[in-house]
A and B are shown apart, each in its own frame.
Chain A
Amino acid sequence: MEVVGEEDGDTEGKRKNGHSKKEEKKEDNERGEKVQKKKKNKRIETSSEQESSEEVEDEVEEEGEEKPEVLSPEELEKLKEAVDERKKRISTLRGKPWPMRKKLLTLRESHEFVEKYEGALGKGKSRKLYAYKVMMLKKWMKFQRDFENFKTACVPWEMKIKEIESHFGSSVASYFIFLRWMYGINMILFGLTFGLVMVPEALMGRPYGSMPRKTVPRAEEANAMDFAVLWDFGGYAQYSVLFYGYYNSQRAIGWLKFRMPLSYFLVGVGTVAYSYMVVIRTMARNANEDGGGDDNSFNFSWKMFTSWDYLIGNPETADNKFASITTSFKEAILEEQESRKDDNIHLTRFLRVLANFLVLCCLAGSGYLIYFVVRRSQKFALEGLESHSWWERNEVNMVMSLLGMFCPMLFDVISALENYHPRIALQWQLGRIFALFLGNLYTFIIALMDEINLKREEEEVLKLNMTIWEASLYNGTLGANSTAPPITVHPADIPRGPCWETMVGQEFVRLIVSDTMTTYITLLIGDFLRAVLVRFLNYCWCWDLEAGFPSYSEFDVSGNVLGLIFNQGMIWMGAFYAPCLPALNVLRLHVSMYLQCWAVMCCNVPQERVFKASGSNNFYMAMLLVILFLSTLPAIYTIVTIPPSFDCGPFSGKSRMFDVIQETLESDFPAWFGKMFSYASNPGLVLPFLLLMVLAIYYLQSTSKSYKQANLELKKKLQTGPTADLHAAEQNEENKKKKKMAALKAAMDLEEAQNARSEAPRQQRNNNASQQSYRDRGEKKGGEHRAHQGKSNHQIPPSATRPPAPRGHGLPGPLPGNQRQPAPSVQRVPNSQRH
C-alpha cells in the first residue's frame, strides 16, 4: 500500500488523513480544481502513521494559521452544499448500476473532496468540535457496518438453508426460513419465562419440601421417580418450577424483594403482547414488499421474467424447473386461447357440493371423536389410572395426532372430485386442514373446561374436609390449655386441593410431546423408510418403484407450515399454566431443524409442480395471527372468569388472578398513582377514548380506500395507453370548440336581429362585434397553430423542450388527425415509475 506523501502546503494543500481531525483551511481558488486521485490511507489510525501525520500537521498548521479566513457566508453555504452533495453521492453509490472501476473512482474523488473541505466548514473555535463530531460520525458508521456484518454472521443454519435452496428451490427453503424465524420468537419467549419466572422461584423462593404445594404427596411418593410417571409429567416433574402449581403466592421473595406473582402475571401478558407485535410487524413488512400484488395483468410477463430461480445450483432441480416452466407456459397459453369449456357445469357443481359436504362430515366426525375420547379419559381418571393400559391413558393425545395425520390425506382424496386448478385446490386444502386443526383444538379445550369444573367442585369439597381434618389433628391435645404448641405436620401429609391450573398445563405439555413424537415418527416412516424401501426393493420388484407408485416423497411445504403454526398456537395457549412450554418448544424446534434438513436432503425429491412460496407468505402470517388470537382467547377467559385454586400457584388466595395488579398499585406505588389510575379507568374516560379510536380507524380506512381508487385509475390509464386518454382529451376539445362556435353563431344572429331593428347607431357596435368574433376565430385558429407547433415539438425528445411536468401540461402527445409516428428513440418515462 502506498503511503501518501506529504504535500506542499500551497498547491494541492491537503493531506489525506484517516480523520479530518486537524484539517487545514482550504484555499478558495482550489475549489474548482480537480483533485488528484490518490489511494486512501488506512482509515483507522495506526499509531505510527498517526504520530508522523500529527507532526507534519503541526508544521503545516503553523504555516496555515498565518493565512486569514477568507470565506464569506455565501461561499460557505455553497461549499456546504457541495460537500453535502458529495456525501449523498457516496451513500447512493452502491445503488448505481456502474462498473466497479467507475464507482471506485467516484468514491475516492468524493471522499477526497469531502475530507479536504469538511474541516474548513467549521468556524474558528468550534472547528475542533465540528471535526470531532465528524470523526465520531465516521466511527459510528463503521461501527454500524461492523455490527451488521456481525449480525449476519450470527444467523444460524445459513449454510444448511442455502444448500436446500440450491437443491429444491425457494419454496421448500421458505419453510425452513419460517422455522428459523419461529425459533427466534420462541427463544425470546423462553428467555422471558425462564429468566423472570422460573429462575427467581427456583433461586429465591421456598425450596422443595417446605410447603404442601411444593411437595409430592405421601400417596404418590412411592413412584414419583419412575420414568413412566416422569414422562407423563407427574411425580417430581409436576411439583417443580415447570408448572403453575409450584409457585408460592408470597408477594415479595428473596433479598431483592422480587414480586413473584406480579412477575408471573406480567410475563404471561408480555409473551402474548410480544408475539402480536412481532407477527404484525412482519406482516406489515411483507405487505410493503408485495406492492399490492393482486395483479393478474402481467401474468405472462412475470412467467417470462421472474420464473427462473437463480438459487438453483443442482442440474436435476434445474431440469425439473425447465419442465415446470414449460408446462406453465403451455397451460397459460391454452387458458388464454380458449375460454374454459363449461360443459357439464351442473355435474361439476354437484360434485363440488358433494365434496364439501363430505369434508364437513369428516370435520364433525373428528370433533365428536375427540370429545368422546376426552370424556372417556375423565372417566378413566376417576377410576384410577393404573387399571388401564398405556393406550387408554394416552388416548386423547394419540387420537388428536392421528387425526391430524390422516384427515389431510382424506381431504386430498376428496378434492379429486372437485376438479379445480391446482393452485385453487391447494388453497381449499389448506383451508380445510386449518378448519380441522381448529376444530380439534377447540373441542379439546371444551372438554378441558369440563374437567376444570370438575376439579373446582372437588376443591370445594376438600375445603370443607380440611377443617374437619385440622380439627382431628388437635383432637388429641385438647386436654391441655389452648396454648398448645402447634403440631408440625410434614407437608407431604397435608391434604391439598386438586390444582386445576397444573392439570391444564400438564395436558398441554402432554399434547405437545405426543404431537412431536407423531411428527417425527411419521417423518421417519413416511419419508425415510419409504425411500429406503423404494431404493432397495426396486431391484427385485415387478414395476419401477421410483417412477410409479410409491416413488420418493416430495416435501409437503404447506402441511409442514400448518403443523408449525398450530404447534405454536398450543404453546401460546398453555404457556401461562406451564412456564416450561417455551423451553420445550425451543428444544423441539432445534431438533426439528436438524432432523428435517437431513430428511429433506436424504429422502425427498424436488417438486414437480412448483408454486411460488412468496405469494403465500402473507397468507401464512395471517393464519399465524388468527391462531394467536384464537389461542389467547381461552387463556384470557380462564384468567378473567375462574377464581384461582386456593392452595397452589402464585395467585392462591385471591379471588381473581388479575387482582395482583390492583394489589401492586395499592401497595407498591405512591398514592397519587393509584388515584390517577382509577380516574383513567373510569368508564366516562374510557368510552370516549374508545370512540375516538373507532373514528380514527374509520377515517384511515376511508382514506386508504380513496388511495386505492386513485391507484386503480392510474393503472387503468396506463394500461389503456395514451391513446384513450388522448381521444378523450380530443373529444373534449372538439366539444368545446363546437360549443364556442355555436355560441358565437347565436351571438351573431342576435346581433343581426338587433341590427335589423336599429341599423345606424348600432353599426359601429356591429363592427366591433364582428371584429371581436373575428378575433375569437383568429384566436381559435391561432390555438390550432399553436397546437400544430406543439406537435412538431414532439418530434424532438420531450425532455429537451418540456420541463418534466406531468402529462396534463399542455396538450398530451401528438394531435389527432396526424398519423401517430412510432418514436423508437424517445424514451418516455411513465409517471408511475417508482423512484
Chain B
Amino acid sequence: MGTTASQLGKDLLSEYQELTFLTKQEILLAHKRFSECLSKEDKNLPTPRVPMEKVLSLPELKSNPFRKRICHVFSTSDMKDGSLTFEDFLDLLSAFSDSATLEIKSHYAFRIFDFDDDGTLDSGDLEKLVNCLTGETDDTRLTPEEMRQLISNILEESDIDKDGTVNLSEFQHVISRSPDFVSSFKIVL
C-alpha cells in the first residue's frame, strides 16, 4: 500500500495515470517534490502525510491567497489539519492541471471559495473571498460600503433562485460562461 521509499510501483503509476489528468512525467515529478517535503522519519510510514506548513511553503502555492483553503479542501486527514498524503497531492495537481475538465475545476473552485464548508457561498464567504483577493494591507482593502455594494452586485448576477446564497449549480453556470477561468485556474509544478 502506498509508496515505498523512493519508487512508485509501475502498476500504481498506471492506475494514477488513469485516475488523474496528469501525464507520467508529471506524476513522477510530483512524487519527487512530495518526497522532498517529507521528513526522514515520515518516509518510512505507509501513507506519509506532509503537514500543511510544508505544503504552503511550496513555491507554487506560496503566493496564492487561497493556499490554506486549497490544503483544507484536498486534505483527507481526519484531524482536519490540512495535511496532505501523496494521493491528496495528486488530486490537487490533477484538478489544477491543464487538461482537467471545466466541471472538475469549477467543483473544486466552489469548495475552495466556500470558507465555512456549508455547501453554499453566502455573504460571509464572499466577503472573506474579496478580502483574500485584495491583499493584506489596509490601503488595498475595500471600504465596508464598497464591500456591501460589491456583494450585492454579485448576488444579483449569480443568485438565480434568489435565496441569498450561490450554490454549486449557480456557480458552475456563472463559471462556464467565463472565457478565462480554465486558463487561470492552473497550477503546474
Q: Which A residues are within 8 Å of any B CB, using their own CB?
A: 1, 39-43, 90, 93-95, 97, 99-101, 103-104, 107-108, 142, 145-146, 148-149, 152-153, 162, 165-166, 170, 289-293, 295, 297-302, 304-315, 317-319, 322-323, 325-326, 329-330, 333, 336-337, 612, 614-615, 718-719, 721-722, 822-824, 827-830, 832-834
Contacts and interface: CB of A to CB of B under 8 A. Distances in A.
B133 A308 contact: yes
A40 B15 contact: yes
Nearest to A98: B91
Name, among B21, B104, B154, the residue most crowded by chain A CB atoms within 10 Å (CB to CB): B154
B177 A298 contact: yes
A168 B157 CA distance: 30
A309 B184 contact: yes
B14 A325 contact: no
Contact of B107 (A97, A329, A721): A97
Nearest to B174: A301
B109 A93 contact: no
Contacts of A828: 161, 169
B116 to A, nearest CB: 15
Contact of A148 (B23, B142, B149, B171): B23
A833 B41 CA distance: 48
Given A149-B24, A304-B130, A305-B113, 12 more contacts: A95-B104, A100-B87, A100-B91, A304-B129, A311-B184, A322-B140, A329-B130, A329-B146, A333-B149, A612-B180, A822-B163, A829-B169
B52 interface: no
A94 B19 contact: yes
Interface string B86-104: 0110110011100001111
A337 to B, nearest CB: 7
B186 A100 contact: no
Main secondary structure of the interface of B (DSSP, over half): helix
B83 interface: no
Contact of A301 (B130, B154, B162, B187): B154
Contact of A153 (B25, B96, B113, B172): B25
Contacts of B150: 300, 304, 329, 333
A322 B133 contact: yes
Contacts of B120: 824
Nearest to A99: B76
A692 to B, nearest CB: 36
Contacts of B169: 827-830, 833
Main secondary structure of the interface of A (DSSP, over half): helix
Contact of A94 (B66, B94, B168): B94
A291 B102 CA distance: 12
Nearest to A617: B179
Interface of B: 9-11, 14-15, 17-21, 23-25, 59-60, 62-66, 76, 87-88, 90-91, 94-96, 101-104, 107-109, 113, 120, 126, 129-130, 133-135, 140-142, 146, 149-150, 153-154, 157-158, 160-165, 167-188
Given A1-B9, A299-B157, A325-B133, A93 B107 contact: no
A537 to B, nearest CB: 30
A301 B175 CA distance: 9
Given A43-B14, A153-B25, A306 B134 contact: no
Given A97-B108, A329-B146, A822-B163, A304 B25 contact: no
B183 A293 contact: no
Contacts of A148: 23
B135 A300 contact: no
Given A95-B104, A614-B179, A615-B179, A313 B62 contact: yes
A170 B183 contact: yes
A322 B135 contact: yes
Contacts of A824: 120, 163, 165
Contacts of A829: 169
Given A310-B96, A329-B150, A107 B63 contact: no
B26 to A, nearest CB: 8
Contacts of B167: 827
Contacts of B180: 170, 306, 612, 614-615
